A = this chain, B = another copy of it.
Amino acid sequence: MIEEAKRSFEQQGFMKTLGAKIIAIEKGMVKISCDLKESLTQQHGFFHAGVITSIADVACGYAAFTTMPEGSDVLSVEIKTNLMRAAKADRIIATGKVIKSGRTLIFCEAKITDEKEETLFATLQGTMMCLQSKTKQ
């Protein structure tokens, strides 16, 4: 499902808008980077909480997707971001991981850090849902 995850990611117009890139992907883990530009800022020029949440959601979603049976689709059920400090950085990295994978629901967590993955800006907990392909049911 890793190639399928990459293809699906490419189809998200919003990820292009953010300039987000998958920089690592393996079963149960996806890492996404995003570079600061004025179009992504909050009122003080830092990364907007919405950008942070968006790439962390997608990192979790595709981390979950890589653990699903072929032909599945992934849906975010709920996402929760803790915003610990202003994301003052030129680049942020969201690392999404599967914590518990069930048949229907996949519990994931993401960390959002600076490029060196040293400063933690935010964490996200997300519940993802596996939608079975209709042609297969």
**Partner-B contacts on A (CB < 8 A):** 8-9, 11-14, 16-18, 37-44, 48-51, 53-55, 57-58, 75-86, 99-100, 102, 104-105, 107, 109, 120, 123, 125, 127, 129
Contact = CB atoms under 8 A, between A and B. Distances in A.
A22 to B, nearest CB: 13
Given A78-B82, A78-B127, A39 B13 contact: yes
Given A14-B39, A54-B50, A120-B99, A127 B76 contact: no
Contacts of A100: 84-85, 120
* Interface secondary structure of A, over-half rule: mixed
A9 to B, nearest CB: 8
A14 B48 contact: yes
A81 B83 contact: no
B84 A107 contact: yes
30 contacts: A9-B43, A11-B43, A11-B44, A13-B37, A13-B38, A13-B41, A14-B39, A14-B41, A16-B39, A17-B39, A48-B54, A49-B76, A50-B58, A75-B83, A75-B86, A76-B83, A77-B77, A77-B83, A78-B78, A78-B80, A78-B83, A79-B83, A80-B80, A82-B125, A84-B107, A99-B120, A107-B123, A109-B123, A125-B125, A127-B127
